Amino acid sequence: MSSNNEFLYKPMVIFPDLIEQPTWGGSYIVKYKGWENQPEYTGKKIGQSYELSGNVKLFVDNQKISINDFVVTNPEIILGKSVYKKFGKMPLLIKFTQALGNSFQLHIKPEIKHPHWQPKPESWYFFETGYVSCGIKPGIKTEDYKKTCIEIDKKMKNLSQLLTTKKVNLSEAISTSKILIKQLSPQQFVNVGMVKKETTIDLSSGGIHHSWEENTDICPNGNILYEVQLDVADIDCTIRSFDQGKINNDGRIRQLNIDDYFKFIDNDPEKNNFVQLVEKPKRNNIFNTKYYCLDKITVEEKITDFTNDSFVHLFAKDGGVDIITESGQVGLSKGHGCFLPASVNKYEIINRGKKPSVVLKTYINNY
């Protein structure tokens, strides 16, 4: 990388990582980005696009380098002094997701210390109407809920064994699994419902059950959402109690953590209130937590904004914009994003079209 500091004051285009998910992805993300005619995505089901993480690439000094490699050159200046002091690295992961049939899961509360499980605050913003389970129903007996999860897991393990020893075929195993789930129905213990377009679910407090569900009438494309979260490896943070009866072609099933799920679940009825968990954004702020913030900025002509001692990620949700700083500029079409170091300080967002454009701004609030 060049020894000069010009890139500390420029916006930089992000090259997202698109993740193929053959069993639950689709074409929504690729079409949203205008990449449906690119050969590398033809016929592939994309489940997630990593829009921001330490591993996504920036175009710096005529080469693609990871954000982590860029940050290490001057971490306080790039991330912001307060952000670097608090996290010591690029802390966030942003996913643009098309998903359905997710496992029942939760994350521990941030204040809990555990030798293995780490907290992972996360929040969801729905681009389209979705269908989810979120929180446990009021008045349920958690011992009955746990018993059901254990029974399903036991029977799924038996089914897995029959498949791996070729005593049943895959079609028979899938059919048996569907009957089992319908009979025992773990959804009876949790809140299940529709999430309207432009609403949010904030799970940053931890301890709350959550899952994406399937409903072809309500969300034929699955759940389309923009996730902002702390970047923690799935194996270190995601505690599962039920995997929707999924079974791989080779007979393998997912390892669950039923005891820990029920150990760390928050039973407080107020915190499990589905109405409170699913909320409309407040004005231009979609969510504001002590870990991250997400704002929705509508740009009719031009606005001036500031980084305020935090790196900034900008994503063109609708329309197209130019991002201009004192040292450079980038253009963003719908579905694409850029990274601004904290050192940029002041920047402008200029609308390219006749209709207003919408930009999502992710940052860390240090006040």
Q: How far apart are CA 186 and CA 146, in angstroms?
A: 9
**Is position 44 within any domain?**
yes
Compute the average pLDDT of residues 351-359.
96
Query: 74-112: b or e for each residue (b if 16 or more CB lie within 10 Å)?
Result: ebebbbbebbbeebeebbbbbbbbbbbbbbbbbbbebee
Question: pTM to 2 decimals?
Answer: 0.94
Identify whether the C-beta of residue 25 lies closer than 8 Å to the C-beta of residue 61: no
| Residue that is last in its domain, among 238, 268, 285 | 285
pLDDT tens-place string over residues 188-231: 999 999 999 999 999 999 999 999 999 999 999 999 999 999 99
Q: How far apart are CA 366 and CA 83, in angstroms?
A: 7
**Is position 64 within any domain?**
no
The rounded mean pLDDT for the chain is 95
- Percentage of the chain modeled with pLDDT above 70: 99
Identify whether the C-beta of residue 319 lies closer than 8 Å to the C-beta of residue 352: yes
**Is position 250 within any domain?**
yes
Q: Find the domain containing 180 and state its range.
A: 17-55+92-285
239 and 348 part of one domain = no
| Residue that is last in its domain, among 285, 308, 330 | 285
Count of structural domains within the chain: 2
43 and 166 part of one domain = yes
247 and 341 part of one domain = no
Compute the average pLDDT of residues 322-351.
97
pLDDT above 50 (res 3): no
* Longest alpha-carbon distance in the chain: 68
Give the confidence band of 10 by pLDDT, cuts at 50, 70, 90: very high
pLDDT above 80 (res 366): no
pLDDT above 80 (res 330): yes
254 and 331 part of one domain = no
270 and 331 part of one domain = no
128 and 192 part of one domain = yes
**Is position 82 within any domain?**
no
Q: How far apart are CA 202 and CA 286, in angstroms?
A: 10
Classify 239 as helix, strand or coil. strand
190 and 161 part of one domain = yes
| Residue that is last in its domain, among 285, 303, 337 | 285
**Is position 85 within any domain?**
no
Give the confidence band of 6 by pLDDT, cuts at 50, 70, 90: confident
Compute the average pLDDT of residues 27-47.
95
176 and 214 part of one domain = yes
**Is position 81 within any domain?**
no
How high is the pLDDT of residue 367?
A: 60
| CATH number reported for the structural domain that contains residue 191 in this entry | 2.60.120.10
